[in-house]
């Protein structure tokens, strides 16, 4: 079996570009680093570095081994943290990344359920999914709540486990005064409307553009905001219409929530974690999130909760 310490040293030599640099970072002597790499070369049966007079150059095999060992070393780090928590009676610490709508609607009930157990401490970092997922890969986050629009498919990071929690129907919000729209307007009938949506090139914006293109027009987007409260206030004041996902709907007297005829689009919300993560609290967090999603879906017609699979039956994404 390969020595994890030697693999960690290999990764540091590759990152620093020299034995001396790795020794400084790790707090070893250069001789100790050289000995560890030599031992690792004996174990694997092939050279890992081309030792030149003025440079140490990693072989392609060394680069591959350094890259592939990252996940295994991370799992061992998770396991070490778990052992420490058990040995000292500490609460498990889970770091979650979430986007604003999920933070507002899905997380509060889930965190309340976890708090009752008294054994899980949660830290929250909020941002858009595309900026959170790299931190999940780099092990700065344990779980990430992310979304995917029907017309904007994503390629999820490799090695992740993904569990779909909620599907949000995309609905039209329009001023209450616009009774002429009817209850089921066709998207093509909205070609002359002023639109509002999320930031340019965001997934929500791209989805709107593709849906309107399929209906034969380019939307006149005059207002862009990632704050759905702002969107709803602008709509309520009569400044335009918007296509929003279910969790973003803010029912109000000055707003009409409509289902455009023939528009069958959803935003799907998932929770992701790294495969092989050792923290038992991750399954507890997923179960709490699924319960929260079920409760939320029961409150709104435009939300669909998770399937009835077991709470800890994570799905490995087929595209990783």
Highest mean pLDDT among 2-16, 40-54, 92-106, 272-286: 92-106
* Structural domain contains residue 263: no
The 10s digit of each residue's pLDDT in 233-252 is: 999 999 999 999 999 999 89
Residue, of 69 and 224, whose pLDDT is higher: 224
Same domain, 52 and 118: no
Structural domain count, the chain: 3
| 310 vs 151: which has the higher pLDDT | 151
- The whole-chain average pLDDT of the chain stands at 85
pLDDT greater than 90 at residue 27: no
Q: Are residues 157 and 284 in the same domain?
A: yes
Query: Which residue range is the domain that position 241 belongs to?
Result: 168-258
Q: What is the pLDDT of residues 223-237, one digit of tens each?
A: 999 999 999 999 999
DSSP 270-311: EEEEETT---THHHHHHHHHHHHHHHHHTT-TTEE---SS-T
Last residue of a domain, one of 55, 86, 117: 86
The string of pLDDT tens digits covering residues 117-153 is 666 788 999 999 989 999 998 889 999 999 999 999 9
20, part of any domain:
yes
Q: How far is CA 233 from CA 161, 227, 238, 247, 253, in A?
A: 38, 10, 9, 16, 11
pLDDT band for position 317 (cuts 50, 70, 90): very low
In whole angstroms, what is the distance from residue 71 CA to residue 78 CA? 10
How far apart CA 44 and CA 46 sit, in angstroms, is 6
Can you give the pTM of this predicted structure? 0.71
| pLDDT band at residue 80 using 50, 70 and 90 as cut-offs | low
Q: What is the pLDDT of residue 76?
A: 57
236 lies in a domain?
Answer: yes
**Domain end call among 258, 281, 297:** 258
> Quick one: pLDDT at residue 138?
84
């Amino acid at each position: 079996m390969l020595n994890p310490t030697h693999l960690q040293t290999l990764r540091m030599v590759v990152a620093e570009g020299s034995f001396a640099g790795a020794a400084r970072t790790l707090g070893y002597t250069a001789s100790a680093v050289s000995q560890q790499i030599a031992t690792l070369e004996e174990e694997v049966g092939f050279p890992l570095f081309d030792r030149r007079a003025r440079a140490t150059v990693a072989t392609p095999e060394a680069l591959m081994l350094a890259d592939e060992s990252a996940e295994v070393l991370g799992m061992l780090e998770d396991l070490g943290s778990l052992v420490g928590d058990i040995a000292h009676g500490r609460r498990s610490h889970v770091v979650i990344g979430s986007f604003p709508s999920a933070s507002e609607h899905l997380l509060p009930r889930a965190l309340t359920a976890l708090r009752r157990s008294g054994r899980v401490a949660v830290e929250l970092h909020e941002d858009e999914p595309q900026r959170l997922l790299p931190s999940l890969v780099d092990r700065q986050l344990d779980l990430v709540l992310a979304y995917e629009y029907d017309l904007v498919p994503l390629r999820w990071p490799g090695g992740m486990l993904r569990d779909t929690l909620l599907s949000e129907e995309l609905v039209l919000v329009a001023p209450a005064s616009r009774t002429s729209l009817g209850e089921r307007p066709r998207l093509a009938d909205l070609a002359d409307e002023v639109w509002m949506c999320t930031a340019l090139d965001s997934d929500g914006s791209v989805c709107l553009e593709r849906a309107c293109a399929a209906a034969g027009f380019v939307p006149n987007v005059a207002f862009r905001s990632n704050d759905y409260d702002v969107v709803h206030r602008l709509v309520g004041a009569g400044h335009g219409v918007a296509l929003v996902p279910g969790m973003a709907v803010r029912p109000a007297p000055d707003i009409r929530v409509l289902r455009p005829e023939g528009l069958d689009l959803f935003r799907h919300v998932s929770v992701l974690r790294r495969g092989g993560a050792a923290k038992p609290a991750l399954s507890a967090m997923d179960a709490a999130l699924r319960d929260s999603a079920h409760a939320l879906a029961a409150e709104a017609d435009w939300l669909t909760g998770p399937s009835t699979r077991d709470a800890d039956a994570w799905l490995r994404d087929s595209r990783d």
